[in-house]
Structure 1
Amino acid sequence: MARIFLASFIFLISCFADDIDSFEDEYATSSFDPLSGYNRVMTEFNHVVYQNILIPTFKGYDYIMPDPAQDAISNFFDNLMFPIRLVNNLLQFKFAAAGEETLRFIANTIIGFGGISDAATNVYGLKKHDEDFGQTLGYWGIGSGFPIVLPILGQTNLRDLVGMGGDFFINPLTYTNEVFTDDGNKYFHLNLAAKSWQIINDGSMDPELYNKLTSGAIDLYSFIKDGYEQRRNAQIQE
């Protein structure tokens, strides 16, 4: 299965690399949006899910989970995502950042008790360098392509969607695909549960963040799309 996914990923890059560049050149103002109708419907769908499912879940989790525990869980998952940051810093030739990320991982794993404490920042003042494969593609001149809104996951673009495929193979959670069984009945995937836990815990750190960011938006889809592109461009240029 992994080989099929990898072959598909390489095929997508080879097919879309030139097209994404041409999209970026021809539609520099990000006006090219062939999936606009679908994107608007999916944005509204996600908005309903956020308002009625995710935000109440974040609030409930925040109510029962003490703040120190939330911080510890967030630190643990952040430390676990070290390979993604390391590999993408190396792919962008940011060797000093990759070195600092390595020192952070060592400090947080050993001094921070497996990553539950951010000793790298609090004790040693080591800075985190967030990089993903979408940023790496952007660093090497791959344009963003057209906007895409994913169910639940929300706003992205063609380049970052391909980038998710690259990060999939670096993410340690990808390789925790254990299935717990009860009398032979499969019912629980460890990687899906861990990823869901990470999302809920991160969301609970500020349950009203989505409402804060979208409050007063006249055109919700355009507002989120433009904000996403501006943020990603800034991250790529760092």
Structure 2
Amino acid sequence: MTKPISLKAVLIAICLVALLSGCAGHRTKGPSDPTAAPAPTPTGVALSTADETTPPAGSDDMSLWEDDLDWNDEGAGVFYTVADPLEPFNRTMFVFNDKLYFWVLKPVAQGYRFAVPRPARSGVRNFFNNLGAPIRIANNILQGRFQTAEAEVARFLFNSTVGVLGFGNPAADVEGLNPEPTDLGLTLGHYGIGNGFYLVWPVLGPSTLRDSAGYFGDRWLNPTIYIDPIEASLAVFALRSINTVSFHIGDYEAIKSAALDPYQAMRDAYIQLRRSKLR
């Protein structure tokens, strides 16, 4: 990756994303937003399963999975839209992220996947997921889900010890220790705060006003942001991003190739994913 943006600029972008890219709509049986309407994106998009078919139990993985989407009785996808007053800016950022993915992130992730065996990459994913326990615990408490918070604590302790610092995920095989992950954006949605409007951030991708605020709040509970110097913290962020992409090469391509308007398809898929996590 070239260095057209300074390290501090990247941090500023991340903070802005945290402030402005909010999590998706309140997940209920029907559209909770008064503007909710079916989007004209193609339905039944088949996602790539080159590396795995389902996210690991209790994973914070935000990739788009078919199981995360709502389907009606006829099998057609039910999508929900959100206000998009900054569409020109968002489309520019979408194109930027698209080029970044195909020109930099995907080639690096492919090389990384070739060089690093899948068990090692799974260990890296498990490690970062385990580090996210404080975020999930705090937000479960804020949502009044105290039993789920206890399960998250138990899961963290189990994986940190038996799982050797979280590189293993033995809790995945223990009933009751794999609650659905949550975050501050979902907590805000839990208390009825709407999406605001849709945003696309450079590098970080799709979000909403509410999710951006949630991302910013959650960052303070993420141990990796306290790594010094800043270069090391950014290197850790890059490693996690590349490791995550290495499991999902082909997913984005599948959605993009099946969509009449890839920008709109990604927007609607993101909103649907966040609604599914709020349900």
Q: TM-score range by the shorter chain?
A: 0.7 to 0.9
Change beyond 3 A, Cα 1:28–1:123: closer
- Correspondence 1:151 to 2:202: yes
Q: Residue 199 of structure 2 contacts residue 209 of structure 2 at CA under 8 Å; is this kept in 1?
A: yes
Match of 2:173 among 122, 143, 147: 122
Report how far residue 95 of structure 1 moved: 1.3
Any unmatched runs of 5+ in structure 1? 17-23, 180-187
Match of 1:199 among 231, 241, 250: 241
**Which of 1 and 2 has greater Rg?**
1
What does residue 19 of structure 1 align with? none
Change beyond 3 A, Cα 1:71–1:54: same
What does residue 106 of structure 1 align with? 157
RMSD value over aligned CA atoms?
2.4
Change beyond 3 A, Cα 1:198–1:223: same
Report how far residue 31 of structure 1 moved: 5.3
Q: Distance in 1 between matches of 2:33 and 2:174?
A: 46
Q: Residue 85 of structure 1 contacts residue 129 of structure 1 at CA under 8 Å; is this kept in 2?
A: no
Report how far residue 208 of structure 1 moved: 1.8
- Correspondence 1:76 to 2:118: no
Report how far residue 132 of structure 1 moved: 0.8
Equivalent positions of 1:39-58 (< 5 A) are: 39-58=90-109
More strand by share: 1
Report how far residue 124 of structure 1 moved: 5.8
Change beyond 3 A, Cα 1:128–1:202: farther
Report how far residue 207 of structure 1 moved: 1.9
Match of 2:257 among 215, 220, 224: 215
More helix by share: 1
SS at match of 1:53: helix
- Correspondence 1:232 to 2:277: no
Higher relative contact order (CA 8 A, sep 6+): 2
Q: Distance in 1 between matches of 2:82 and 2:273?
A: 17
Q: Residue 82 of structure 2 contacts residue 198 of structure 2 at CA under 8 Å; is this kept in 1?
A: no
Any unmatched runs of 5+ in structure 2? 1-11, 23-31, 38-80
Match of 2:185 among 111, 134, 138: 134
SS at match of 2:236: helix
Q: Residue 104 of structure 1 contacts residue 128 of structure 1 at CA under 8 Å; is this kept in 2?
A: no
Report how far residue 50 of structure 1 moved: 1.0
Equivalent positions of 1:157-196 (< 5 A) are: 157-176=208-227, 178-179=228-229, 189-196=231-238
Letter in 2 for 1:175: Y
- Correspondence 1:36 to 2:87: yes
Letter in 2 for 1:87: A
Report how far residue 173 of structure 1 moved: 1.1
What percent identity do the matched residue pairs reach?
38
Q: Residue 101 of structure 1 contacts residue 129 of structure 1 at CA under 8 Å; is this kept in 2?
A: no
Equivalent positions of 1:80-99 (< 5 A) are: 80-99=131-150
Report how far residue 27 of structure 1 moved: 3.6
Letter in 2 for 1:215: S
SS at match of 2:245: helix
Report how far residue 189 of structure 1 moved: 2.2
Q: Residue 55 of structure 1 contacts residue 208 of structure 1 at CA under 8 Å; is this kept in 2?
A: no
Q: Distance in 1 between matches of 2:152 and 2:259?
A: 37
